[in-house]
Amino acid sequence: MWSYISGVISLGLIYVIATVGLAVFTGFTGLFSLGHAAFFAIGAYTAAILTYFYGFNFYVALAMGGAAGGLVGFLIGYPTLKAKLRTDYFAIATLGFGEAIRVLLENLPITQGARGLPGIRNETSLPVLMVVAFIVIWFAWNLIHSRHGRACIAIREDFVAAEMMGVNIFIGRLRSLVFSAFCAGLAGGLFAHYFCFIQPSMFTSYMSTQMTAAVVAGGMGSISGPVIATLIFIGIPEALRVANIWRLVAYGLLLVLIMIFRPQGLMGYRELSLDLVKGWYRRVWKGGRA
Amino acid sequence: MFVQTLLTGLAIGGIYALMAVGYSLVFSILNFSNFAYGSIIMLGAYISYFSMVKLGLPIGVALALSILGAALLCYLNERLAYAPLRKRRASSLFFMISAMGTAIFLENLVYAIVGAHFYAFPEVFTKRNITFHGVSIGVLDVFAIAFSFAAIYALHYFLQKSRTGIAIRAASYDIQVCSLNGVNDKHLIGLVFCLAGGLAGISGTFLGMKYIVYPTMGWITNKAYIAAVIGGLGSLPGAVVGGILLGVTETFVSAYVSSVVRDVFSFSLLVLLLMVMPTGLFGRFLEEKV
């Protein structure tokens, strides 16, 4: 029983790491990435190839996986963000990017194509995941409360005004994208060494969808919201043993319903804090205004 | 070989153009990416498949049913998922998320209900080939080219000559001023979605005949978005040019280089073009409103 619970928590934490990155990017710059699974895949393959074929130390490989994700994020972000694409154009460019990476993974010799890489060392344990997740969340928290984070919020709210005030839109967006690609790569490396097997078909739009859904449902512009949403998204279907496919149907419906009824999401530009919990407590138990 | 490839490219480019036009039409009025459009195309393919195979209807009736069904779905999509947002004057980001949600919902609903089976259309034209001066082309391809261009031309004629068409073109410049001048914008938007849905029915049917019918219809419907972006979102001539350009270049790449790099190529084409021309080939300069 414990191994089952720890399995669910581990999977949840892997997704939390990736989603926090996406929350920093999408929630704080307002740009959508529809190909985030590609960064995840790049991290997973880089880390797995390093430990599998070259016998690298797990932690070194993990860092290299994250770095590879970040580097690719930089390579894709530099031209597209430099061109100041509209949100829609950027989203479609990342969509194409995600597909292109998957095709490459299926055809490169080192990734062994669609067969995938079986028998990767099992290195990811729950403590490792907890430490990495803690560091990533702590870092993301500091990032968005820094000068950079405030600049990003300004860009999201009104990028013309932000530019007028001397905020460099390009640098702000690119830094967020690289950070989020790094997180996705890190999560990918952990994923590969948790399941001990990866193949290109694991990193489809399903994964990107789940991350985007968690960020939107958790509330854009929040870190704790998406973290809670991810844990709910992983935990509840696992507990109820819902078939994968109905899960996705529900995600789709949820996105539409959230947009209609509660566009700010679960937390909506706020963070989980003691004051917030106290406010809820008062509202529920005392019936008065918080 | 050259003429042969060109013709094959035109046949697939015609379908891409048709899809891109439907997608761009909605964009030109409401200024957001209707990512649900790909799933409407997919459902159009299912409608014509089932009416041909399960109900034994002839191809013409199946096509008509698919046009009607897809138009209805597209209309319902607008009423249920976008109209509430429009009332609230939500930003285009929220529309995009809602559209993504609809796409995920519809795609996976088909997975869950119909299953991931691959359905091949009964062979109506596929077997026969016309050979002319050593160049052979499938009857289906001829029919697809002719029908796509006829549909696009009919739409063009409608937009240019009819009163409603003029209203639609006016709305694509400024929907508020247009409704101030006595156009019922609710009906107009409904009509635009019906038109787009009709095009989705046609392109879905041809895609289904040319390839195979399955829930994600692969990467093909995403090509519509890429084609529209290449041409410039919101521009109908741009969508046609983008679709044909994408179809023809892709066919040449798969014929002369390799079919594996085809998708990587179309993605690189997209990014390169956006770097040089951030609004696509024919895009109006659309500043994002804050």
Q: Which residues in chain B are closer than 8 Å to A258, comparing Cβ atoms?
A: 97, 101
Predicted pLDDT at B128: 66
Q: B32, B34, B105: best mutation site toward chain A, by most A Cβ within 10 Å?
A: B105
Predicted pLDDT at A44: 93
Contacts 24+ apart (CB under 8 A), B120-125: B120/B212, B120/B213, B121/B49, B121/B52, B121/B53, B121/B208, B121/B209, B121/B213, B122/B52, B122/B53, B124/B59, B124/B209, B125/B209
Confidence label for A283 from pLDDT (cuts 50, 70 and 90)? confident
Do the chains contact at B225 and A256, CB–CB below 8 Å? no
Q: Which residue has the higher pLDDT, A60 or A96?
A: A60
Q: With respect to residue B187, please indicate whether it lies within any of the assigned structural domains.
A: yes
Q: Could you read off the pLDDT of A29-63 as tens digits, one per residue?
A: 888 888 889 999 999 999 999 988 888 888 999 99
Residue A290: pLDDT over 50: no
DSSP assigned state of B119: B
What is the domain-level CATH number for residue B54?
1.10.3470
Assembly ipTM: 0.82
Predicted pLDDT at B181: 87
Q: With respect to residue B30, please indicate whether it lies within any of the assigned structural domains.
A: yes
SS3 A198: strand
Do the chains contact at A249 and B112, CB–CB below 8 Å? yes
Structural domains counted in chain B: 1
How much is the mean pLDDT over chain A? Answer: 85
- For chain B, give percent helix, strand, coil, nearest 5: 75, 5, 25
Do the chains contact at A259 and B274, CB–CB below 8 Å? no
Count of alpha carbons within 13 angstroms of residue A258, beta-carbon side: 31
Find, among A110, A119, A127, the residue nearest to A10 by Cα: A127
Kindly list the structural domains of chain A, giving each domain's residue range(s) and its CATH number in brackets, ordered by start: 2-289 (1.10.3470)
**Would you state the structure tokens that stand for residue B133, as one six-digit string?**
């001066």
Which residues, in sequence order, are CB contacts of B96 under 8 Å at separation 6+? A32, A87, A88, A91, B32, B33, B35
Q: Which residues in chain A are closer than 8 Å to B264, comparing Cβ atoms?
A: 100, 103-104
Instruction: Give the global pTM.
Output: 0.83
Range A162-190 average pLDDT: 91
Cα–Cα distance for residue pair B1/A178, rounded to 1 Å: 45
Q: A106, A211, A256: best mutation site toward chain B, by most B Cβ within 10 Å?
A: A256
Q: Judged by CB atoms within 8 Å, which residues 141-160 of A form the interface with B?
A: 157-160
Nearest CA to CA, how far is A104 from chain B (Å)? 8
Predicted pLDDT at A286: 65
Q: With respect to residue B287, please indicate whether it lies within any of the assigned structural domains.
A: no
Q: Which residue has the higher pLDDT, B154 or B264?
A: B154
Residue A252: pLDDT over 90: no
Do the chains contact at B104 and A103, CB–CB below 8 Å? no
Least confident segment among A61-75, B230-244, B272-286: B272-286
Cα–Cα distance for residue pair A246/A188, rounded to 1 Å: 24
Among chain A residues, the shortest Cα distance to B110 is held by: A249
Among chain A residues, the shortest Cα distance to B106 is held by: A249
Nearest to A91 among B96, B261, B264 (CB): B96
Q: With respect to residue B124, please indicate whether it lies within any of the assigned structural domains.
A: yes
Residue burial B162-186, b: 16+ Cβ < 10 Å; e: rest:
eebbebbebbbeebeebbeeebebe
The radius of gyration of chain A from alpha carbons, rounded to an integer in Å, stands at 19
Q: Which residue has the higher pLDDT, B161 or A265?
A: B161
Find, among A128, A177, A181, A118, the residue nearest to A14 by Cα: A128
Q: With respect to residue B285, please indicate whether it lies within any of the assigned structural domains.
A: no
Do the chains contact at B109 and A99, CB–CB below 8 Å? no
The radius of gyration of chain B from alpha carbons, rounded to an integer in Å, stands at 19
Least confident segment among A124-128, B148-152, B247-251, B271-275: B271-275
Q: Could you read off the pLDDT of B37-81 as tens digits, one per residue?
A: 989 999 999 999 888 888 888 888 989 999 999 999 999 999 999
Do the chains contact at B101 and A256, CB–CB below 8 Å? yes
Predicted pLDDT at B290: 38
Predicted pLDDT at B254: 86
Q: With respect to residue B18, please indicate whether it lies within any of the assigned structural domains.
A: yes
Helices (H), A23-168: 28-29, 36-53, 58-82, 87-107, 126-144, 147-157, 159-164
Nearest to B274 among A83, A161, A260 (CB): A83
Confidence label for B285 from pLDDT (cuts 50, 70 and 90)? low
The parent domain of residue B52 ranges over 2-276
Predicted pLDDT at B107: 86
Interface check B114 vs A, CB under 8 A: no
Q: With respect to residue B286, please indicate whether it lies within any of the assigned structural domains.
A: no
- Cβ-based burial of A248 (10 A; exposed 0-12, middle 13-18, buried ≥19): buried
Q: With respect to residue B246, please indicate whether it lies within any of the assigned structural domains.
A: yes
Nearest CA to CA, how far is A70 from chain B (Å)? 19
Among chain B residues, the shortest Cα distance to A217 is held by: B97
Residue B243: pLDDT over 70: yes
Q: Could you read off the pLDDT of B173-200 as tens digits, one per residue?
A: 888 888 888 888 888 999 999 999 999 9
In contact, B53 and B264? CB cutoff 8 Å: no
Q: Could you read off the pLDDT of A201-240 as tens digits, one per residue?
A: 888 777 887 888 888 888 888 888 899 888 888 877 777 6
Confidence label for B127 from pLDDT (cuts 50, 70 and 90)? low
